[in-house]
Amino acid sequence: MKLTIDAKSPLPVYQQVIQAIKLEILSGGLRDNDPLPSIRDLAKLLRINPNTVAKAYYALEAEGFCEGRSGSGSRVKVPPGRQDGLRQAMLEGEFKGFLEKAATLGFSLDDVTHLMERTRK
């Protein structure tokens, strides 16, 4: 599992952890019942506070992406029948952020469309 944190991102760190784990689940990098790193191990790996990782794990559990098991840590729980909708929502969120950044930089929708056509080849 590859997780990275962008210190310059406006997105809070715990949300970056959530997004990275969801991406791993939705892309198949993490499968149902796979163990997640312990809170302490992931915090050490990412060089962040363990409370931040715990907050992310609790949020993932509330959304149905993982399940905490007393004494054995957290495990991935793939939400049945929700993967396609979640993948779509994740892509739309990323795309919306891209469009907002492009607009802030002064690019028009036509500019973005041309960029997509150029990079698609």
> What pLDDT, in 10s, does the model give residues 45-57?
999 999 999 999 9
Query: At the topology level of CATH, where does 13-76 sit?
Result: Arc Repressor Mutant, subunit A (1.10.10)
Is 22 a residue whose pLDDT tops 80? Answer: yes
- Return the pLDDT at 89: 81
Q: At what angle do helices 50-62 and 13-26 cross, to 10 degrees?
A: 50
pTM for the predicted model, two decimal places = 0.74
Assess whether pLDDT exceeds 90 at residue 92: no
Q: Which residues contact 55 (CB under 8 A, 6 or more apart)?
A: 14
**Confidence tier at 90 by pLDDT (50, 70, 90):** confident
